[in-house]
Structure 1
Amino acid sequence: MRKISQVYDIESPRQIKDLTIDELTQLCSDIRAFLIDSISKTGGHLSSNLGIVEVTVAMHYVFDSPKDKMIFDVGHQCYTHKILTGRSTQFATLRKKGGLSGYQKRSESKYDCWEAGHSSTSLSAALGYAIARDLKQEDYNVIALIGDGSLTGGMALEALNDIGSKQKKMVIIFNDNNMSISKNYSGVEKRITDIRASHLYIDLKHDVKNNLKSNKLGSNVLSTLSHFRDKIKDGVIDAPLFKEFNLNYMGPVDGHDIQSLIKVFEAAKEHDGPIVVHVLTQKGKGYKYAQQDKVGKWHGVSPFDVATGKSLSLLPPNEISWSQVISNTVMDLAEKDKTIVAITPAMAQGSKLLEFQKHFPDRFFDCGIAEQHAVTMACAMALGGLKPFVSIYSSFLQRAYDQVNHDMARMNVGVVIGIDRCGLVGDDGETHQGVFDIAMLRSVPNLILSQPKDAKEAQNMIYTAFESKKPFCIRYPRGNALYAKNKSYSLIPIGSWEKFVVGTPTQIVITYGPDVDHVINKARENKMGLLVVNARFFKPIDEVMMKDLLKMDLSITVYETDVKIGGLSSAILEYINTLDEKIHIIGIEDHYVCHGSIRSLRIQEGISTECLFEELEKHG
């Protein structure tokens, strides 16, 4: 077997199985140095990957991928897994088009058995694999690695409940680094904190580690582990948390001690039924700037200087991120209106709401990885007389569709949702592209959906949204905008579009967001006569302007940077179709349908068979 002399020599996880503990420890050090150097050039997820180098090496040492199924929750912390499965030579292409994905990707490697990108899915996936294995009478291990942040997600807790019920054989590695992207604020986090602070754990930690190191594999290790495990279970862990889910437990274990990790994983591998292995790790380990980070700055990074920790991506003068534009505006309005509150599902750093939290700690609410809960809680806040602003990435808003529909729009409550990272986000790939929210939300009654073209319009749009006291969604992209603080806010008529004339128009372009100015500037450069429309509302659309545009009898191009199906062009074509007598549509209009018998409701909504044939006779 080829000897490992450097990280680039690793072609398969089989190569590490004959290494000594000292050699494995050195390998972990080499991988950590490789990650820091490589990510400093390409950007990527740094802290989370530095934190689980030893854990991942121990996983591959004990288990046999790809036969055994290794599932990484979220997936952004799988870089060491990629290195150990022969992909280190591709790291220069990380997150680039055609290059290495920043997440597990099934088409990329036989070692990637699951794809994620959103948190809290690993436990459900692990149970699914375990059920499939047993029904097919196959023989392999299922290992799910999940962090303390992801464990606050409702889906993870649902899965734990089912895993405890079904008692399928699997290993759950609970990566406890006390440092999710945003500070945890949940009851689960409180219980985990109690574990960390327990006197019993502090007293036993040294003894557990020594016993692990001194015993041989086999019955002695299992007996010793069980002895300490039972003490910790009864006094620390199982009583407040895992016992409630009927799960066995091992740990806590030093997540940077490769020898201890291997021995505990070997023991867990032999366990019948589900077992939780609790590992304590340090996020950002090995790089001082990441280790010192307390707010998630080093979670995902652009290229940076290793020596100084300074980003190599500098913003142009007078530009700030779109997230900061929105946050600044909400904060400014909150100074004048004490009923404005801000809510985030564990993305305070990314959504630039930490400053809001600093200024208004009693009016800031981070509810953990719980988008559904965040939206419903905001709805009740609104009904209680507050003006909630909920910041959610477009990709994550999909998880709260039911709450936006049933709780926010159906009850017609005044919640403002900031849809951050809309449109293409680039590096993070399929799971993070924010191109579906327009199509997802446009069919929801009562909802207002908009996107400003620049920072000035964004500030007025936020002001309009709060003043409307209606379900209002404002989307804004990743990237930056030229910013000057608004000295005087003005209302934007809901559903209104804007026209910009370049030269003598021979065509019409309808677009939205920053692309409005991009199209105007490009037309001026090319000396092309265009009428450019800022379609800043997707719902409702500006039907008055649309009629005027159609009367001009010019070629119309709808330029949208999100999915076409259900997007702006669909809204426009649907409207145009109402003006064309050749095609007649029968269906439920843009409202919620009340209760009643199906027969009476079909008549009420004009969708009964009788209604159909009445229409056919009119047009026959």
Structure 2
Amino acid sequence: MTKILETIDSPQDIKKLKIEQLEKLAGEIRQEIIETVGRTGGHLASNLGNVELTLAMHYVFDFKTDHLLWDVGHQCYTHKLITGRKELFKNLRQKDGVSGFPSPQESEYDRFTVGHAGTSIPTGIGMGIAAKKLGKKDHIVSFVGDASIVNGLSLEALNYLQDLKRQFLIVLNDNSMAIDVTQGAIATMLSRVRLSHTYDEINKTTRNILDHIPLIGRKMDNAIANFKKTIKMSLPASRLFESLNIAYFGPVDGHDIRSLIQLFNGIKDIDYPVVLHTYTNKGKGFHPAGDDPRSFHSTGPFTNDNGKITHIKAGSGETFTSIIGDTITDLAKEDSRVTTVTAAMPDGTGLRRFKTSFPDRCFDVGIAESAAVDIAAGQAKMGLRPFVCIYSTFLQRGFDQIAHEVALQNLPVIFCIDRAGVVGDDGPTHHGMLDLAFLRSLPNMTVLAPATAAEAQNACRYALNLDSPCAIRYPRDYAPQNDGLEACDSDFVTGKSVTILDNDSKIVIVSYGSCLKNAYEAAIELKKRGIEVKLINARFAKPLDSDIIELYKVGKTIVTVEEHSLTCGFGSALLEACCGRNEVDMNSQTSSLGKIVIIGGPDRFIDKNTRNNQLKELGVDSESIISTVTKLNNMS
């Protein structure tokens, strides 16, 4: 029997279905998502929760001309399946498949490439302003998670929203979860509203809203006023939005597709901003994800044997993330000043053990990275030693606070920058290729990168003993053990590198951070091919080791290797430092100075792929390093 999903090639096909068929389609979509994510990994729980909402929106609106803005982007799987991408969806987040986030390069139904929270309301306002100026009647819908609504960018936009005098619908998808349980007063308020409603009461609210949707000729203002009187609107959620002069409807059942379609039809043409508050169940239709949405927020591949879930590991050993998290926990046992601050990702940054051991010293501020930095600055000002654990891509949002509240004040805040470098299948919205560029520009900031498991531990201990800000960057990967890298076991000394292979060869490979294992493997293979190189583990991007600069001054060819953009990265820092010491006439054809060749990320966004393939694209895998050094050796 043909599945309904097999007949869906565009949203126009959705509009031909009866409600009963849409309900069946929702079940088929859930099964497709479960099977696909089981093979490829991906964001599972949130996508299982919003199937009916997505179908209802596409049933009522025409998002080829209307505008659907996702916040955050990982909720878009159903949207992708019904907008002509179901065949590509089988290779979700893989090189030849679809991205796990909206992508205008894939489809005209995607407006922005987006993977960060808080963006859809302000960009929607901007589109609304433009549409009004251009005389367009396009509908604008922002689909916002309950954890995203608390983001500072969302709140700033809500504050301005009353000035948009046209249609704008915010669908608040309330499932009480971000990556972890949503934090903060607004989240608590939404939770109270959720817990105070039975299923029957939610259905009654839906019916009340539908009963008061205006008929032709009735004014919407009167209808909303009558609606409030009827249900005696005094809910905290209503007060929040209505205090900002934003009309509020809800809460309603986000899985009742028939009522959702009626609601969207009723409110889609209101000519001022409206919030529709919906309740959904994260992980709906898949008990393991429903029972443990945190673990299935973003999961790797897994097998499902009659409900017994086995996660497929991509490697072996401990990750940098878990080592950093465990080390901070151990340090907290020794030093009562140690705290942690994170932004809605205690699990993702390895802080679960710390949170369990020291619940009163672990501060999850929700999706509010800028606030996280300033909260840490306040703690440090009072004598604590906060470790701020945030993904590199999200820490970008706190640059101003790092500059002014931390670096300018010279406060001992320690930034543990997870997912630094390329991150594999999450793609360009989640790569951490920019942190060196903005961090090493800051006075008072120490910037370092551990290359092994032992160095990850030692880096945390070193940072704790500084009286100034420090950043530790590390990748989403397993941390190498020794295997020839025993020199990395030594303690960190400010601005000092570690020599791994020592000789007087013409070529020196200087590796920064996570590339060391590949550089070491390359050096060993090069020796087998008759090319000896000196290998240095730089450790610090700021301050740089002056001994490396001396190697340049005595004529060595230095090859830098880093998992960061070439622009403003480690190699760039070395070039700047060496040029600053170059007093030789630039027109001279003879010079005792060496040369510097930098290897790292090109000046473009790196697409989704496996992490290993992305490292090849950067040229920092062992084979690429061998190729580069061999060419340099042949030229000398």
Q: Is the TM-score greater than 0.5?
A: yes
Secondary structure of the corresponding residue to residue 355 of structure 1:
helix
Partner of 2:576: 574
Distance 1:195 1:583 in 2: 73
CA change 1:355–1:238 in 2 (3 A) is: closer
Distance 2:87 2:341 in 1: 42
Please state how far the C-alpha of 1:524 moved relative to its aligned partner: 1.6
Contact 2:389–2:418, Cα closer than 8 Å, also in 1:
yes
Distance 1:480 1:518 in 2: 13
Distance 1:268 1:210 in 2: 14
Contact 1:8–1:89, Cα closer than 8 Å, also in 2:
no
Deviates more, 1:179-188 or 1:101-110: 179-188
1:583-602 correspondence to structure 2 within 5 Å: none
1:211-610 correspondence to structure 2 within 5 Å: 218=215, 227-231=226-230, 234-237=233-236, 240-294=239-293, 296-307=294-305, 308-313=308-313, 315-316=315-316, 319-482=317-480, 491-501=491-501, 505-526=505-526, 527=528, 528-547=531-550, 549-581=551-583
Where do 5+ consecutive residues of structure 2 fail to align?
A: 587-636
**Identity percentage over the alignment?**
38
Partner of 1:151: 149
Give the AA of the match of 1:262. I
Normalised by the size of structure 1, how large is the TM-score?
0.88
Please state how far the C-alpha of 1:65 moved relative to its aligned partner: 1.2
Contact 1:233–1:239, Cα closer than 8 Å, also in 2:
no
Partner of 1:71: 69
CA change 1:116–1:260 in 2 (3 A) is: same
CA change 1:83–1:203 in 2 (3 A) is: closer
Contact 1:463–1:490, Cα closer than 8 Å, also in 2:
no
Secondary structure of the corresponding residue to residue 262 of structure 2:
helix
CA change 1:9–1:552 in 2 (3 A) is: farther
Distance 1:551 1:171 in 2: 63
Partner of 1:591: none
Residue 125 of structure 1 is aligned with which of 123, 126, 129? 123
Please state how far the C-alpha of 1:27 moved relative to its aligned partner: 0.7
Per-residue CA distance 1:1-39 (angstroms, 9 max, x = gap): xx9843233111011112111011001111111111111
Contact 2:209–2:249, Cα closer than 8 Å, also in 1:
no
Distance 1:195 1:558 in 2: 55
Contact 2:205–2:231, Cα closer than 8 Å, also in 1:
no
CA change 1:221–1:293 in 2 (3 A) is: farther
Give the AA of the match of 2:549. M
Per-residue CA distance 1:496-538 (angstroms, 9 max, x = gap): 1111226763411111223213212232234241111111100
CA change 1:206–1:559 in 2 (3 A) is: closer
Contact 1:341–1:388, Cα closer than 8 Å, also in 2:
yes
Where do 5+ consecutive residues of structure 1 fail to align?
A: 585-620
Please state how far the C-alpha of 1:224 moved relative to its aligned partner: 8.3
Partner of 1:37: 35
Partner of 1:8: 6
Distance 2:303 2:523 in 1: 39
Distance 1:582 1:226 in 2: 79
Give the AA of the match of 2:251. P
CA change 1:254–1:46 in 2 (3 A) is: same
Please state how far the C-alpha of 1:430 moved relative to its aligned partner: 1.2
CA RMSD of aligned residues (A): 2.5
CA change 1:96–1:414 in 2 (3 A) is: same
Per-residue CA distance 1:321-342 (angstroms, 9 max, x = gap): 2111100000001001111001
Contact 2:514–2:562, Cα closer than 8 Å, also in 1:
no
Give the AA of the match of 1:399. R
Distance 2:46 2:450 in 1: 34
Partner of 1:610: none
Give the AA of the match of 1:189. A
Normalised by the size of structure 2, how large is the TM-score?
0.86
CA change 1:233–1:50 in 2 (3 A) is: farther
Contact 2:203–2:252, Cα closer than 8 Å, also in 1:
no
Distance 1:212 1:309 in 2: 41
1:207 and 2:204 correspond: yes
Contact 2:523–2:535, Cα closer than 8 Å, also in 1:
no
Deviates more, 1:491-500 or 1:405-414: 491-500
Partner of 1:100: 98
Contact 2:377–2:406, Cα closer than 8 Å, also in 1:
yes
Per-residue CA distance 1:540-581 (angstroms, 9 max, x = gap): 10013421x125533221122211111111111111112212
Distance 1:143 1:560 in 2: 41
Give the AA of the match of 1:271. I
CA change 1:145–1:229 in 2 (3 A) is: farther
Secondary structure of the corresponding residue to residue 390 of structure 2:
strand
Distance 1:228 1:48 in 2: 31
Contact 2:212–2:224, Cα closer than 8 Å, also in 1:
no
Contact 2:167–2:269, Cα closer than 8 Å, also in 1:
no
